[in-house]
Amino acid sequence: MTTRTCKVGVHGRNNEEWQDLDFQVLREARVEVIKAMSQTRPHHFERMRRELPNVEIITRLYTGAFNKEGHPSPSQFAGEMIPVLADLQPYCTKFHIHNEPNHLSRDEGWGNSDEDARSFNAWFIEVFRRLKDAHPWASIGFPGLAVGEHSHRERTWLKLCRPAVEMADWLGVHCYWQTPPGQGSQLMDEGLGTNFKHYHSQHPNKTLEILECGNSNIHSNFPISDETIADEYVRWLQEVFNYLYINSASFYILSSHDTGQWSFFSWRTENGAIRPMVYRVGAMFRPQWTPINTPPPEPKPALPVNTPAGLTNQMVINAFNRASLGLGLGDWELLQRAGLDVKALAADQATRRARYSGPKLDQLPNLTDDQRRLIRSHLPKDVSFALAAPIGFLKEDADLLVSSLTPPFRLSTPRGALRLGRRIVQAWNRYGNLLAGIADRLGIDLALAVAVAAAEGDPRGIAAGNRLVLRFEPHLFYQRWGQNQRERFAEHFQFDPARPWQGHRWRAAAAKPWRDVHGSLADEWAALSLARTLDDAAACEATALGFAGMLGASFADAGYRSAAQMLDAFASSERFQVLARFDLLAGPEGDSRPIAALRSQDLARYAGLATTPNDAARLAGALAAAADAFRRLSATR
């Protein structure tokens, strides 16, 4: 598509008060629509308008008077909302009345029956008339219904509420989907992810606002990674952009003070970690926006899109990867379409840094003009081969936050490979492309970057079920909290006083049996969760996190505000685990002594800085062996 009518939005925080981080997320995601709730304090609306002057605000008219016992009368609801609209008029002109009244739980004052639908239809019409009489300037929409005919009788409701829908200024719709393991995503299912198609077929003259959307695996306990959800959101938006009757699509939810099931949907955690979908949606390709029913601009003649001189192969790989991800395609699909031999471009570190000598961008086959322009936008205009020391932590680098984790080619584990060889293959295949970007940014040999990731930690940072691998250390929790609360500590935790790193046990209560903390990942998490109820900061700081077993207490050195924030980030994606491993080595300026040693490939010096004198020789040998193993495997792939 060359134009779109759909703006990219997010449902705002479901609380009266918002936080500074909420506005940072809005900026990072380049949000064009905010779906707000009327109980949000007016000064937050003013801030939305001030900091995001071009954003459109759609407000849900909310009151706590809806519940299983019933709902307010039209006069009561309209009487409460009329002054709200007056207060919000300087910031917002678009509102919708209520939300998911057809939900089978009846929490919203109605249920899913035919009688409920007819009752809501009459109620909506009367509320609409009262609000319009008071505020004729307001654009008032019919709310999104709970998705699903089988459970919520959504389509029956839509049919029975036709008079109300036709009266409304526009029509709201919800689009949720799930990704059952082994069954594929319901992303494009016309009853779920593309539910809007049915609404348009029934009301072709109504503009649609997708008021809520997103992956809802939490409702079925299907495991899914945040990286996969980010992929889905970009792919789904690229599809939605094709439908010129949709004005907006707002993902549920920016953030939530309720850390129960709503935390699954949140774009950032309450501890301050920003999740991958924020960066991916922000970097996503967006066709030129035109209002609904506005003729698209006349197409301009396609101009040659030349490849800048002096590009490295790595820059070309990165640009194609960013463009492919931004279009919701596979990580390397555009490279494959263009017929470039990615294995040749990425053969080794020297090849990656060599000048690109392939065809010019406008000479590559199987690419559209829009795709070429998007690829070109990710290529640097001024190319320099001088290595500049990075400023800021790696986890703040825009390219590293959105590039593919997995490499353009995979390694195979050789028959009879030893443990080190298997870990090299695991590390490369799980996040080799990210390691290549880190190596390029820090100016270190790629083989050494892979060696650091594989030889010094378990490449499995996320276990089955998308749960963060961690190790809770009771003796460290004792140092940080238990020594001042000995009785309470002893009620729940034990360790061997002579060998405090051993004998780790926990129990939920004095009457419960003792369990081995390290018996399973479930026990690790249960012990940590219990400790967090006693002292959240101390518990998180006393836990080794992720593939490299980084202690939570090192949070500040990795660029985080708290151990809990680092834990949330690591649980969100292995990307943040890998970045933190190298942020700890490099520091915020990327010029630490360990990184200098890796740049000069002085492994003895690096090991002496990274570990104790007694272990330095072993570590240097392990890194050298791991780097050699990666070079051999890469050469024979």
Instruction: Give me the residues paired with residue 281 across strands.
Output: none
Instruction: Residue count of the chain, please give it.
Output: 637
Measured CA to CA, the distance from residue 59 to residue 424 in angstroms comes to: 51
pLDDT bin (cut points 50, 70, 90) of residue 413 is: confident
Task: Write out the DSSP string of 539-593.
Answer: HHHTEEETTTTEEGGGTGGGT-S-HHHHHHHHHH-HHHHHHHHHHHHHTTTT--H
Task: Give backbone dihedrals phi and psi of 485, rounded to 5 degrees, phi first.
Answer: -140, 60
Q: Is the pLDDT of residue 119 over 80?
A: yes
**Predicted pLDDT of residue 459:** 65
Measured CA to CA, the distance from residue 329 to residue 321 in angstroms comes to: 9
**Predicted pLDDT of residue 387:** 45
**pLDDT single digits (tens) 617-635:** 999 998 999 999 899 888 7
pLDDT bin (cut points 50, 70, 90) of residue 383 is: low
pLDDT bin (cut points 50, 70, 90) of residue 391 is: low
Measured CA to CA, the distance from residue 384 to residue 386 in angstroms comes to: 5
Q: What mean pLDDT do residues 67-80 have?
A: 96
Of 6-10, 36-40, 302-306, which range is least confident?
A: 302-306
Full-model pTM: 0.93
**pLDDT single digits (tens) 120-175:** 999 999 999 999 999 999 999 999 999 999 999 999 999 999 999 999 999 999 99
Q: Is the pLDDT of residue 637 over 70?
A: no
What is the helix (H) or strand (E) element at residue 172, kind and residue range? strand 170-177
Q: Is the pLDDT of residue 386 over 50?
A: no
Give residues with Cβ within 8 angstroms of 113, minimum separation 6: 153
**Residue 184 φ/ψ region, left for φ over 0, alpha for ψ in the -120 to 50 degree band, beta for the rest:** left
- Site of tokens 């707002």: 250
**Predicted pLDDT of residue 302:** 66
- Counts of helices then strands in the chain (DSSP H, E): 28, 18
Residue spans of the domains in the chain: they are: 3-289, 300-383
CATH number of 3-289: 3.20.20.80
- Dmax over CA atoms of the chain, in Å, equals 82
Closest by CA to 507, choosing from 497, 515, 495, 499, is: 515
Q: What mean pLDDT do residues 37-52 have?
A: 96
Rounded to the nearest 10°, the torsion over CA 418, 420, 422, 425 is -140
Higher pLDDT, 174 or 416: 174
**Predicted pLDDT of residue 5:** 97
Query: Which two three-digit tokens encode residue 577?
Result: 């685990």
Closest by CA to 40, choosing from 54, 56, 57, is: 57
Q: How far is C-alpha 237 from the chain's CA centre?
A: 14
Q: How far is CA 201 from CA 311, 378, 570, in A?
A: 49, 39, 43
- Site of tokens 């491993």: 581
Q: How far is CA 239 from CA 1, 335, 368, in A?
A: 9, 21, 17
Rounded to the nearest 10°, the torsion over CA 422, 547, 220, 264 is -150
Of 299-308, 317-326, 571-580, which range is least confident?
A: 299-308
Rounded to the nearest 10°, the torsion over CA 413, 419, 420, 425 is 30
**Predicted pLDDT of residue 28:** 97
pLDDT above 70 as % of the chain:
97
Measured CA to CA, the distance from residue 633 to residue 184 in angstroms comes to: 32
Q: How far is CA 295 from CA 5, 43, 55, 292, in A?
A: 11, 37, 22, 8
Task: Give backbone dihedrals phi and psi of 490, rounded to 5 degrees, phi first.
Answer: -65, -25
Measured CA to CA, the distance from residue 624 to residue 424 in angstroms comes to: 12
Q: How far is CA 107 from CA 65, 113, 141, 252, 332, in A?
A: 10, 14, 21, 19, 46
pLDDT bin (cut points 50, 70, 90) of residue 374 is: very high
**pLDDT single digits (tens) 592-609:** 999 999 999 999 999 999
What is the helix (H) or strand (E) element at residue 250, kind and residue range? strand 246-251
Instruction: Give me the residues paired with residue 213 across strands.
Output: 175, 251
Give residues with Cβ within 8 angstroms of 293, minimum separation 6: none
**pLDDT single digits (tens) 503-512:** 999 999 999 9
**Predicted pLDDT of residue 350:** 82
Q: Is the pLDDT of residue 75 over 50?
A: yes
Of 77-86, 360-369, 453-462, 525-534, which range is least confident?
A: 453-462
**Predicted pLDDT of residue 458:** 66
Class of residue 353 by CB neighbours under 10 A (exposed 0-12, middle 13-18, buried 19+): middle
**pLDDT single digits (tens) 443-497:** 999 999 999 998 766 667 888 788 999 999 999 999 999 999 999 999 999 999 9
Write down the mean pLDDT value for the chain.
93
Q: What mean pLDDT do residues 424-435 have?
A: 93
Q: How many CA atoms lie within 13 A of 191 on its CB side?
A: 8
**Predicted pLDDT of residue 305:** 80
What is the helix (H) or strand (E) element at residue 313, kind and residue range? helix 313-326
Measured CA to CA, the distance from residue 314 to residue 300 in angstroms comes to: 31
Measured CA to CA, the distance from residue 108 to residue 340 in angstroms comes to: 55
